[in-house]
Amino acid sequence: MSLLAVSELGKSFGGVRAVDGISFEVAPGELLALIGPNGAGKSTTFNMVNGQLRADRGSIRFDGQELVGMRPRDIWRLGVGRTFQIAATFASLTAVENVQMALLSDDRKLFSMWRRAAQHRREDAIDLLAQVGMAEQADRPCSVLAYGDVKRVELAIAMANRPQLLLMDEPTAGMAPRERNELMALTKRLVVERNMAVLFTEHSMDVVFAYADRMAVLARGRLIAEGAPAAIRDDPKVQEVYFGTGKTFEKKRAASEVVR
Choices 38-46, 88-96, 127-135, 245-253 (CB under 5 A): range interacting with Mg ion: 38-46
Size of the site for Mg ion (CB under 5 A): 2
The CB-of-171 to ligand ADP minimum distance in angstroms stands at 13
Which of 83/137 has CB closer to ligand ADP?
83
Choose between 9 and 18: whose C-beta lies nearer to ligand ADP.
Answer: 18
Whole-angstrom distance, CA of residue 102 vs CA of residue 125: 9
Q: Which of 7, 12, 23, 43 binds Mg ion (CB under 5 A)?
A: 43
40/156 with CB nearer ligand ADP: 40
- Residues lying near ligand ADP in the complex (CB under 6 A) are found at 13, 16, 18, 36, 38-44
Q: Smaller CB distance to Mg ion: residue 82 or 121?
A: 82
Whether residue 155 contacts residue 175, with contact meaning beta carbons closer than 8 Å, is answered with: no
Nearest-CB residue for Mg ion:
43
Buried b (16+ CB within 10 A) or exposed e, 79-96: bbbbbeebeeebeebbbb
CB of 170 to ligand ADP, least distance (A): 8
| CB contact at 8 A, 223 and 217 | yes
Assess 12 for contact with Mg ion (CB under 5 A): no
Whichever of 41 and 163 has its CB closer to ligand ADP, that residue is 41
Site residues, Mg ion (CB under 5 A): 42-43
